[in-house]
Amino acid sequence: MIVVLRPNVTEDQIGNVVRMVEQLDYRAHIIRGVERTVVACVGEERGEHQLEHLEALAYVERVLPVLRSFKLAAREVRPEGSRINVGGVEIGGRRLTVIAGPCAVESREQVEAAADGVRCAGAHLLRGGAYKPRTSPYAFQGMEAEGLGLLEAAGKRVRLPIVTEIMDPHDIDLFVEHADMLQVGARNAQNFSLLRRLGRIKKPVLLKRGMSTRLEEFLMAAEYILSEGNPNVVLCERGIRTFETATRNTLDLNAVPLLKEWTHLPVIVDPSHGTGIWSLVTPMALAAVAAGADGLLIEVHPNPQAARSDGPQQLKPERFAELMKSVAAVAGAVGRTL
Amino acid sequence: MIVVLRPNVTEDQIGNVVRMVEQLDYRAHIIRGVERTVVACVGEERGEHQLEHLEALAYVERVLPVLRSFKLAAREVRPEGSRINVGGVEIGGRRLTVIAGPCAVESREQVEAAADGVRCAGAHLLRGGAYKPRTSPYAFQGMEAEGLGLLEAAGKRVRLPIVTEIMDPHDIDLFVEHADMLQVGARNAQNFSLLRRLGRIKKPVLLKRGMSTRLEEFLMAAEYILSEGNPNVVLCERGIRTFETATRNTLDLNAVPLLKEWTHLPVIVDPSHGTGIWSLVTPMALAAVAAGADGLLIEVHPNPQAARSDGPQQLKPERFAELMKSVAAVAGAVGRTL
Amino acid sequence: MIVVLRPNVTEDQIGNVVRMVEQLDYRAHIIRGVERTVVACVGEERGEHQLEHLEALAYVERVLPVLRSFKLAAREVRPEGSRINVGGVEIGGRRLTVIAGPCAVESREQVEAAADGVRCAGAHLLRGGAYKPRTSPYAFQGMEAEGLGLLEAAGKRVRLPIVTEIMDPHDIDLFVEHADMLQVGARNAQNFSLLRRLGRIKKPVLLKRGMSTRLEEFLMAAEYILSEGNPNVVLCERGIRTFETATRNTLDLNAVPLLKEWTHLPVIVDPSHGTGIWSLVTPMALAAVAAGADGLLIEVHPNPQAARSDGPQQLKPERFAELMKSVAAVAGAVGRTL
Amino acid sequence: MIVVLRPNVTEDQIGNVVRMVEQLDYRAHIIRGVERTVVACVGEERGEHQLEHLEALAYVERVLPVLRSFKLAAREVRPEGSRINVGGVEIGGRRLTVIAGPCAVESREQVEAAADGVRCAGAHLLRGGAYKPRTSPYAFQGMEAEGLGLLEAAGKRVRLPIVTEIMDPHDIDLFVEHADMLQVGARNAQNFSLLRRLGRIKKPVLLKRGMSTRLEEFLMAAEYILSEGNPNVVLCERGIRTFETATRNTLDLNAVPLLKEWTHLPVIVDPSHGTGIWSLVTPMALAAVAAGADGLLIEVHPNPQAARSDGPQQLKPERFAELMKSVAAVAGAVGRTL
């Protein structure tokens, strides 16, 4: 940490800061500049936030952290990158992983039609929402436990492991029993109670970035799961909230190469939520692969205009099959396979 | 809803849209403009989101909602405004309500010193965090149940009802027993599992706006609580996340008069989180009152530079006492009392 | 500047950085931490951006500036604050300054009616747009030179100095001759050609914050004018662009007390553009005064629904007169006069 | 336009609105819904903003535009897409166009070294800044006319047309004489005086998106140039300003396929400014091509750590050559050539 003092600080005040820094078990280096004096603090910075409180002193201008605060998620921990096994399917290797399926499970027929479609086109994992976080309490909230059962059955039928969103820590046992990968949605990206409980299971977790989560905070959310003992975390960029209203969200593909530098965890991209518009899904899926993503999450529905949620962003199975062909071509161009 | 069709749409396609609209039990009015044909849909729009899925059709350009989607929270429901009773203290009347206390409960001595300070200066409710949502799993996470007990005792001692944050639906019974008002933090503003459970109790809820929650979504979050049967909701503006980094958040005071137009629920403001800088807390508290807020939430700590969380934004009791005097003056100028 | 090196940096690389720092005439202090080595650079930081380019080195993680980069605008330069004289009216003293008038000059009758209204209600300066920056080239672009003449005449008639927006450096002579204060609009907040030319005149400049300008950048824009020799700059917060769409902009009142800490320049607030909704103008004007603003800019039109620009945010003269009464009350409560 | 009336509006008020709508030469359709009455206005909506002012009426809740407001830039005008000729190089066809060169022209040696490097690697146009918009007045402002001459000479030497940024309308003649394409930077994206003047020349214009410009506004900025008579506009996505601080800007690749749907103008992408970090430039360049961009703008400097501006985001010529190879591969995968 670098403690920047205000101009005209007295020697007593500098001494005060040094004393407080040392009480927190850091070594203090005083550096007297032309306009400011700064105190550089040397010690175990990560996980230690006490120094920041020096900003409460009237003669401290600001406290600048030198290190990023994630530890277990940092690239240095596993420079070769993590590979996460989801019911026999690996995420994080040279081969891209495609997760596909409807936004919400709506009926046996619908989820089976979707499962057939995505299986045929070559997806590796089947997704579908049974518990749905909806902005409005009056909107369809998902088929809940029944939906989870239908998804599990559909996955077995087409022999694809399943991924589905958990919203309430209370449901963890149910999800661990029936799902292969548990998704944490954008609205729960900083629901620390839920994250901590997911750290105590072994099932892989698909952690979506929150709508206003900075990348460093995103990795700190992963750190909640990792630090409780579950190493099986996959990150998912799904668009952030900006001033732009032409698209539902702003898919932040900068996040892909930057996260790959910062962390060993696999990074996948969800262009369905990231754009909110079906005609943009394929170009942005290709862009994600070109940017270095380890996989994709694509919403596919047999009949989008009759969907009970997120109709405008879901692809028909035919279009998804075309997307997969284009993805294979771009994957090849960047040294990956599908 | 207004369904805007693409240019060059055929009569068959228009007929298709009309048929789909009518199947969803709306009446359809076709309006043929110079450049576009639009279909206006008349019916019970609120709570009905199916029409939006027409955007999945290739010949539909977009679907524009006419109504804002909140119902029970709408001003029309109670034009005179709601007053919420918190352990005998009313929020929403002519008198402003000030909630004050430390960010986190850290020890018996600390919470008692804070309670004495805020009581003396004239606060109406005592706040303090026992369970703390922290960006880092390595930061102080709160004293949990023990902290809740200390806060309750401190509140009893100074005879102020207490407000504290709940993070996990699992803890509701504990909070209902020991706290007078349950706060939902910004990171849980769209944790719908938690909101729905809070709708099934009667204790008042202090609902903070999320960092990237639009005002309409904020009211939909309140609607989750209201629609489950708990009418005791107080809204709290606490700053949104923007590109500006000079302050921790951007306190959006526009929200105050706009929410007062849109909803009957009381609106209070938290300038401590809204700015993140102690020297800005008093001017922004005054601004909030001038903008029409029904109350304030102010963080007060006996010794901010030794605080275990959010030191830079907490006021010392002396400064809080000065803030209260200034607030009283501005309140008088806008026809309120303190 | 603090240069943070990557982990596992070699001694040679450290030596390299030190050498480059010294070549740029800084002294280099090496601080070896637990996880990172940092090089603190001591010298004249402001105005010197060369050190930032060390980030281009593969073994440098990042370069952190210690100082904020504005100089002449800094509070320390004139701790008592600047007072700017606009045609005999002072901005920046204990008395608040209110600038009011129509968004655009539309006709002699309209600008005279507006001038009478604002004069009667006690405004100190008359505003009106003659050259209008409009998002669409097909929208009304202002009456240009003719409008400037009408505004000047109306100002003379009611004996109020006038403020009007300049868009093109080419027009400076015309504006200097006919206007008392030149406004730079949000879209030109970083039009450095224009700013530099305004630095070479003596007429006061009303500099609006850009829609996505950070406060430090805002002061650097002022610095362009100051450093060319014109000390007469007044800053205007007018709302920033955020994800919130319920209001036209998000008026960032945090900016008021923060700018007052950072700079000696007066700060006024424009709640008309800051909200875009006439019913929010009065509460936000009061909030601005309570937050410590030195004045207000309010759009007033004799007949807003017939306005040729920005109708929804303009006040009728009667409402403006009520606003002035409320402003006087709040001003009194915070130790100011009107 | 759809005029949404407030609840409990009277028949007189509805009549009023209809009358005002008809006075503006629109036909009014009254639609009485369950909760709201709306008035649909039929007529030439584009370029007509008067209806919006009905929002100034107390009994009008809001006015919703049905059409997007750009005309000449709309895809329908030229469904096959525009191709812009820049000194013999075409932008907008099947072949991608790569513009490359240093951020700023710093010396004859530097610009020649850069020109050789980008020419060798296969770039089609040479860029370089002679007049530099810098946040700080104390930073290097460019070599101005001398720099323009050096760039022109370097371009001639390697036989590449040149692209350079214009900041001041006053300099247009100079730029028309010496440059092949004039760039409008992000900070001038809504400098309407400059745009209008650029509409009166025939030289192609490279129009960058502003940091907080919505896509519809971006096209309206292009519309300023088109409507004055210059059809030679190329759009450039270069990153928007969001809350994320890990990257300098957030490159919004969603903009690429969406703009390609909305407009016939070519769209290129600048990953150098869009990320601000050299190690992200190549992955984001590939992503841009995969998303459907018509070209790239890449900053290349022979010695980035000694650059006088934007060092951290410039590529060395060797890295740029590698980027070009990867771009060729991805281009092939999406049916384009380089």
| pLDDT at residue C96 is higher than 90 | yes
Distance CA A56, CA B306 (A): 9
The more confidently predicted of residues A66 and D245 is D245
Q: Is the pLDDT of residue A328 over 90?
A: yes
Nearest Cα to C54, choosing from C34, C40, C70? C40
B53:A224 CB<8 A:
no
Confidence of residue A24 (pLDDT cuts 50, 70, 90): confident
Please report the residues numbered 287 through 316 in chain A whose beta carbons come closer than 8 angstroms to any beta carbon of chain D. Answer: 287-292
**pLDDT grade for B45, boundaries at 50, 70 and 90:** low
Half-sphere exposure of residue B111: CA atoms within 13 angstroms, side-chain side:
29
Mean pLDDT of the residues in chain C: 93
CB contact under 8 A, A53 and B137: no
DSSP-assigned states of every residue in A215-250 = HHHHHHHHHHHHHTT---EEEEE--B--S--SSSSB
Q: Could you tell me which residues come within 8 angstroms of residue A177 by beta carbon, excluding any fewer than 6 positions away?
A: none
Q: Which of C35, C44, C64 sits opposite A64 (nearest CB)?
A: C64
Q: B169 touching A, CB under 8 A?
A: yes
Q: Give this prediction's pTM.
A: 0.94
- Which tens digits make up the pLDDT trace of D10-28? 999 999 999 988 888 888 8
B258 to chain C, closest Cα gap in Å: 7
A-D contacts at Cβ under 8 angstroms: 124
pLDDT tens sequence across B77-117: 999 999 999 999 999 999 999 999 999 999 999 999 999 99
Residue-wise pLDDT for A279-325, tens only, equals 999 999 999 999 999 999 999 999 988 888 887 889 999 999 999 99
Q: Give D282 to chain B, closest Cα distance, Å.
A: 26
Cβ–Cβ below 8 Å for C332 and B334: no
CB–CB contact D67 B29 (8 Å): no
Task: Give the neighbours of chain B: at least 3 Cβ pairs within 8 Å.
Answer: A, C, D
> What burial class does residue B93 get, using C-beta atoms within 10 Å of its C-beta: 0-12 exposed, 13-18 middle, 19+ buried?
middle
Q: Between the CA of residue C99 and those of C266, C267, C328, what are the distances in Å? A: 14, 13, 15
Q: At what angle do helices B108-121 and B317-333 cross, to 10 degrees?
A: 30
D47 pLDDT exceeds 60? Answer: no
Mean pLDDT check: name the lowest of B26-35, C44-53, C93-102, C261-270: C44-53
User: What integer best gives the mean pLDDT of chain D?
Assistant: 93
pLDDT of the residue at D323:
98
User: Which of these, B159, B147, B230, B221, lies nearest to B184 by C-alpha position?
Assistant: B221
State which H helix or E strand residue D60 sits in: strand D60-64
pLDDT for residue A46? 59
Which of the pair, D37 or D225, is modelled with greater confidence?
A: D225
Tell me the per-residue pLDDT of C65-86, one tens digit each, with 9 for 90 and over: 877 889 899 998 999 999 999 9
Torsion angle of C-alpha atoms B285, B287, B291, B292, degrees rounded to 10: 30
What is the arithmetic mean of pLDDT over D295-324? 92
Given pLDDT bands bounded at 50, 70 and 90, which one contains residue A51?
confident
Which of A 73-132 lie inside 8 A of B, CB atoms?
none
Average pLDDT, chain B: 93
Confidence of residue D202 (pLDDT cuts 50, 70, 90): very high
Residues C206, C184: Cα–Cα separation, whole Å: 6
Does the beta carbon of D33 lie under 8 angstroms from any beta carbon of chain B? yes
Task: Please give the structure tokens belonging to residue D95.
Answer: 């072949």
Chain C adjacent subunits, 3+ CB pairs under 8 A: A, B, D
Q: Using one digit for the tens of pLDDT, what is the confidence trace for B250-302?
A: 999 999 999 999 999 999 999 999 999 999 999 999 999 999 999 999 999 99
Reported as a single tens digit per residue, the pLDDT across C316-331 is 999 999 999 999 999 9
Residue B48 has pLDDT above 80, yes or no: no
- Select the residue from A9, A29, A32, A35 to test the C interface by mutation, using most C Cβ atoms within 10 A: A35
Residue in this structure with the two tokens 């027409």, named with its chain if needed? B54
A32 CB within 8 Å of a chain C CB: yes
Looking only at the bridges linking them, the beta strands covering D233-237 and D267-269 are parallel
Q: Which of C261, C277, C333 sits opposite B330 (nearest CB)?
A: C333
Q: What is the pLDDT of residue C11?
A: 92
Distances (CA, A) of C269 to B320, C127, C239: 26, 14, 9
Per CATH, the homologous superfamily of domain A75-333 is: Aldolase class I (3.20.20.70)
Nearest-by-CA chain B residue for D38: B66
SS3 B125: strand
- The strand order across the sheet containing A27-32 reads A27-32, A37-42, A2-5, A60-64
- What is the per-residue pLDDT for B158? 98
A38 closest CB neighbour out of C34, C40, C44: C40
Q: Give, as one character, the DSSP assignment of residue B209.
A: P
CB contact under 8 Å between D274 and A283, yes or no, is no
Rank A308-312, B137-141, C190-194 by mean pLDDT and report only the highest: C190-194
DSSP label at residue D293: -
Determine the straight-line distance between the first and last CA of chain B, rounded to whole angstroms.
44
Task: Return the residue of A nearest to D258 by Cα.
Answer: A280
Closest chain D residue to C138, measured at CA: D47
Q: What share of chain D is helix, strand, coil (3-state, %, to 5)?
A: 40, 20, 40
**Mean pLDDT over each residue of chain A, to the nearest integer:** 93
Domain extents for chain B?
2-64, 75-333
Rounded Cα–Cα distance for residues C294 and C92 (Å): 6
Q: What is the pLDDT of residue D45?
A: 65
Residue B62: partners with Cβ closer than 8 Å, 6 or more residues away: B4, B55
Give the separation between CA C86 and CA C84, rounded to whole angstroms.
6
pLDDT band of residue A45 (cuts 50, 70, 90) is low
B18 touches chain C (CB under 8 A): no
Using a CB–CB cutoff of 8 Å, tell me whether B136 touches chain A: yes
Question: pLDDT higher for C243 or C44?
Answer: C243
Q: What is the pLDDT of residue D306?
A: 83
Query: Cβ C215–B240 below 8 Å, yes or no?
Result: no
In the predicted model, is pLDDT for residue B216 greater than 80? yes
pLDDT digits (tens, 9 = 90+) for A247-277: 999 999 999 999 999 999 999 999 999 999 9
* Nearest beta carbon to residue B290 from set C254, C277, C287: C287
Strand partners, D268: D236, D295
Say yes or no for a CB contact (<8 Å) between C42 and A29: no
Do residue A169 and residue B169 have CB atoms under 8 angstroms apart? yes
Residue in chain D lying closest to C46 (CA): D138
Question: Between residues B309 and B271, which one has the greater pLDDT?
Answer: B271
| Residues of chain C contacting D136 with CB distance shorter than 8 Å | 47, 49, 69, 220, 223
| Of the candidates C74, D300, B217, the residue with the CA atom closest to the CA atom of residue A212 | B217
Instruction: List CB contacts of A29: < 8 A, sequence separation 6 or more.
Output: A39, A40, A41, A42, C29, C31
Residues 6+ apart with CB under 8 A from B146: B130
- C46 pLDDT band, cuts 50/70/90, is low
Residue range D286-309: average pLDDT? 94
Q: What would the pLDDT profile of D71-130 be if each residue is shown by its tens digit?
A: 899 998 999 999 999 999 999 999 999 999 999 999 999 999 999 999 999 999 999 999
Q: Residue C50 pLDDT more than 80? A: no
Q: Is the pLDDT of residue C335 over 90?
A: yes
Task: Identify which of A212, A243, A292 has the shortest CB distance to residue D283.
Answer: A292
d(CA C170, CA C131): 13
The span from the CA of B40 to the CA of B45, in Å, is: 11
pLDDT at site A312: 85
- Between the alpha carbon of residue D65 and those of residues B128, D49, D69, the distances in Å are 47, 9, 9
Q: Do C66 and A36 touch (CB under 8 A)?
A: yes
Whole-angstrom distance, CA of residue C1 vs CA of residue C28: 10
Higher pLDDT, A116 or A20: A116
pLDDT (tens digit per residue) in B66-80: 778 898 999 989 999
- From the candidates C13, C193, C217, C247, which should be mutated to test the interface with D, based on the most D CB atoms within 10 A? C193
CA distance D75 to C222: 41
Q: Which residues of B touch C286 (CB under 8 A)?
A: 290-291, 334
Q: What is the pLDDT of residue A286?
A: 98
Banded pLDDT at D31 (limits 50, 70, 90): confident
In this structure, what is the dihedral angle of CA atoms D190, D196, D199, D205, given to the nearest 10 degrees? -30
The single-letter code of the amino acid at D100 is A
**Encoding tokens for residue A173?**
């046992």
Predicted confidence at residue A171, as pLDDT, reads 95
Sort strands D2-5 and A60-64 into parallel, antiparallel or unpaired: unpaired
Q: Distance from CA of residue D72 to its chain's centroid?
A: 15
In CATH, what number does B2-64 get?
3.30.70.1140
A-chain residues near B140 (CB < 8 A) = 49
Asked if the Cβ–Cβ distance from B286 to C290 is below 8 Å, we say: yes
Q: Do D193 and C211 touch (CB under 8 A)?
A: no
> A182 and A205 in contact (C-beta within 8 Å)?
yes
Residue B202's pLDDT band (cuts 50, 70, 90): very high
> Is B254's CB within 8 Å of C275's CB?
yes
The reported pLDDT for the residue numbered D49 is 67
pLDDT tens per residue, range C136-169: 898 889 999 999 999 999 999 999 999 999 999 9
Residue A27 has phi, psi (to 5 degrees) of -90, 140
Evaluate if residue A47 carries a pLDDT over 60: no
A69/D contact by beta carbon, under 8 A: no
